[in-house]
Amino acid sequence: MTPVLRIQDDRVVLRPEGLPLSAEISQIAAAAGQSAGAAAIDAAADLGDSYNLFDKDAVRVDAEVQYNGGLYVAGDSVTSAAIDVSRLPAGSKLTISGLAANPALARVWAFYSDEPLATNAPEPNLISYVTIPGNGPFTATLPNGAKSTRVSVRQRQPGAGSFAGVQIERGDKATAFQPYAPRIIGFNGRPIGAAASEPSPGPDTSVGVVAIFGDSITATENVEAGQYVYGSGWSKNWPDFALPMLSPTSAYNFARGGAAFGNYSSAVPWQRFHHQLDVAFAQGFTPDCVIVALGVNDLRMQQDRLGSYDTAMGKAYNALDLTVSIEAARAGFYRLQQQWPDAVKFVSLPLQQAQLDGPTLQTWNALIARMAARYGFTVIDAFSEAGIVSDFEVSGARGRDLVDGLHTGERFNDANPSGRRKQGRLIAARVRARLGL
């Protein structure tokens, strides 16, 4: 990816990946009051801290932080490099998110009066430590005199999943993941703009907190490993294109491959819409925006149990049969409205594809859309508007936008982003229009 450089509040910001600098070098030189080639500016650049303070490429593998602050050899462990926090005042909040589950033990997060150097021994510069319960997000308070910090993102936990989506940021809230990207704060010792400790300002508009529910076409996180906060990179799908356009303060994705509205007979818990809801409600957050993208597996797994609108609406809520797809959808939409009454809610209908015929999909989509509208959801007609056309797709093989006539995502050994880009851009555009952004 080509580095992008821009001026924000008289400060030069490097996005999204680090040096060397290229196309915008003259803009930076002008901001710094000097003229030079790329090599000279690289050498003269003073790097400040990143929005995300965790550098995944600088971790210590098979090493852990212990309660005495020392760095010790430990299998199935991963520890961050020492992070400079000397420009932050005492009492500042730091929040870590994107951690995989680590039931083996609580992970240690230590704070130091100077850069920690001890290996397999107590660290004399240790000020204090905290332990991280569960998989976060977790907020720590910077103690007096702290100049450096270090945290075990995996600790004695076999198969703990990826740490590529871990984020450590200023403040007491976990926001949408951003990769580690140090900022340029000066040249040849000359500061540019605001103090280096100030985080990069966010976009002008944001949808706030986003919650997503869906199937394999939507999944981005390894939910069965306890990873719900968006940004791990576990799987690539349409949220990777939609969320940057929506600029959420934080995003959660509970989607899992094979999920459906109805509890079909062979479904594991995460493949049930209502299980995804149960887990989401237990997290304690309140979203501003909810996106549900389900339905194709109801057709694939139980086409004879889709149900009817009139039958579903003719039942009392507690009499709804969750093994009947549209009744399960009604119950789920009801629960979302009950749990999060102020959130703006969306349903994205299944895409065109090559594995199911168009008329069958359209009939089912119309039923989903009718029920969603009844419960105050804005319907996104991805079948008609995403630009994915079944005529150009091949069942079981790569077509124009789909991997196998059904899926768009990278988990299916396909790096072509065209399908998920089309779907993500449509969903983001509809959400922004509905919210007036």
Q: Which residue has the tokens 């959400």?
A: 431
Grade residue 251 by pLDDT with cuts at 50, 70 and 90: very high
Q: Give the pLDDT confidence score for residue 412 in this predicted structure.
A: 54
Question: What would the pLDDT profile of 295-310 be if each residue is shown by its tens digit?
Answer: 999 999 999 999 999 9
pLDDT of the residue at 46: 47
The more confident residue out of 192 and 381 is 381
For position 118, what pLDDT does the model report?
82
The secondary structure of 219-245, three-state, reads: CCCCHHHCCCECCCCCCCCCHHHHHHH
Q: How long, in residues, is the chain? A: 437
Stronger pLDDT, 45 or 102, i.e. the higher one: 102
Distance separating alpha carbons of residues 191 and 193, to the nearest angstrom? 6
pLDDT above 70 for 415: no
Confirm if 337 and 376 have CB atoms less than 8 A apart.
yes
Query: pLDDT at position 212, please?
Result: 98
Which of 6-10, 120-124, 322-326, 341-345 is predicted with the least confidence, judged by mean pLDDT? 6-10
- pLDDT above 90 covers a percentage of the chain that reads 48
Q: Does the domain made of 209-435 have the CATH classification 3.40.50.1110?
A: yes
Phi and psi at residue 7, to the nearest 5°: -100, 125
- Please tell me which residue, 168 or 47, carries the higher pLDDT value: 168
Distance between CA 313 and CA 322 in Å, rounded? Answer: 13
Residue 318 is predicted with a pLDDT of 95
State in Å, rounded, how far the first CA of the chain is from the last one.
28
The answer, yes or no, to whether residue 411 has pLDDT greater than 60, is no
Describe the crossing of helices 418-435 and 239-246 by its angle, rounded to 10 degrees: 30
Burial of 349 (0-12, 13-18, 19+ CB in 10 A): buried
**What ranges do the domains of the chain cover?**
60-186, 209-435
Q: Does the pLDDT at position 274 exceed 90? A: yes
Q: Which percentage of the chain shows pLDDT scores above 70?
A: 81
Summary mean pLDDT of the chain: 82
Average pLDDT over residues 107-132: 90
Q: Specify which of 2-6, 235-239, 276-280 reaches the highest per-range mean pLDDT.
A: 276-280
- pLDDT tens column, 205-229: 689 999 999 999 999 999 999 999 8
Q: Are strands 344-348 and 378-380 parallel, antiparallel or unpaired?
A: parallel
Mean pLDDT, residues 42-63 taken together: 73
Q: What is the 3-state secondary structure (H, E, C) of the chain?
A: CCCEEEEECCEEEEECCCCCCCCCHHHHHHHHCCCCCHHHHHHHEEECCCCCCCCHHHCEEEEEECCCCCEEEEEEEEECCCEECCCCCCCCEEEEECCCCCCCCCEEEEEECCCCCCECCCCCCEEEEEEECCCCCEEEECCCCCCEEEEEEECCCCCCCCCCCCEEEECCCCCCCCCCCCCEEEECCEECCCCCCCCCCCCCCCCCEEEEEECCCCCCCCHHHCCCECCCCCCCCCHHHHHHHHCCCEEEECCCCCCECCCCCCCCHHHEHHHHHHHHHHCCCCCCEEEEECCHHHHHHHHHHCCCHHHHHCCCHHHCCCCCHHHHHHHHHHHHHHHCCCCEEEEECCCCCCCCCHHHHHHHHHHHHHHHHHCCCEEECHHHHCCCCHHHCECCECCCCCCCCCCCCHHHCCCCCHHHHHHHHHHHHHHHHHHCC
CA 68 to chain centre: 33
Distance CA 161, CA 44 (A): 38
Contact 232, 223 (CB under 8 A): no
Q: What is the pLDDT of residues 2-18, one digit of tens each?
A: 333 343 433 334 433 33
